[in-house]
Amino acid sequence: MARPTKYDRQKVMNVICDRIAEGESLRAICEDIDMPNIDTIMEWLKVDKELAEQYARARERQADFYVEQIINISDNSGKDTVVTKDGIEQVNHEAIQRDRLRVDARKWVASKLAPKKYGEKIQQEITGENGGAIQVNHMGKTKLDPKDL
């Protein structure tokens, strides 16, 4: 049995879930001096279904937060160009690549946090020869022989 905790689980989870919904990681939150260890939080989530559901909802909100950040990063072109010492405006490839990396990272995380909402939609279609119907050939006995049982 685990040691008793000095924390009010619900109050702590309210704070944690609010911070997660604003994009913070659980690991970073648990590094705060007034927060329990990450292992404690994981144990709470294992034994308390309501806290686990609250945490899951916070992770879905975190995915929404990341998607909003993707839009903001994509719309912000403020660092896309730089002016050299000679007064010449040039494309800032480093800033553009950094923004692309930031967007890609957030897309990936959002797709993992909320796969039904932000994951890839995979549809598979199987067709027969020349795009036609699939031909099914049944080989073998058509009736069950009691000797086979």
Residues in the chain, how many? 149
CB 35 within 8 A of CB 28: no
Q: What percent of the chain has pLDDT over 90?
A: 71
pLDDT tens for 53-106 read: 999 999 999 999 999 999 999 999 999 999 999 999 999 999 999 999 999 999
pTM confidence score: 0.73
Residue 130 has pLDDT above 90, yes or no: no
* pLDDT at residue 135 in the model: 75
Average pLDDT over residues 20-33: 96
Say how far apart CA 148 and CA 140 lie, in whole Å.
13
Backbone φ and ψ for 81, nearest 5 degrees, come out as -130, 155
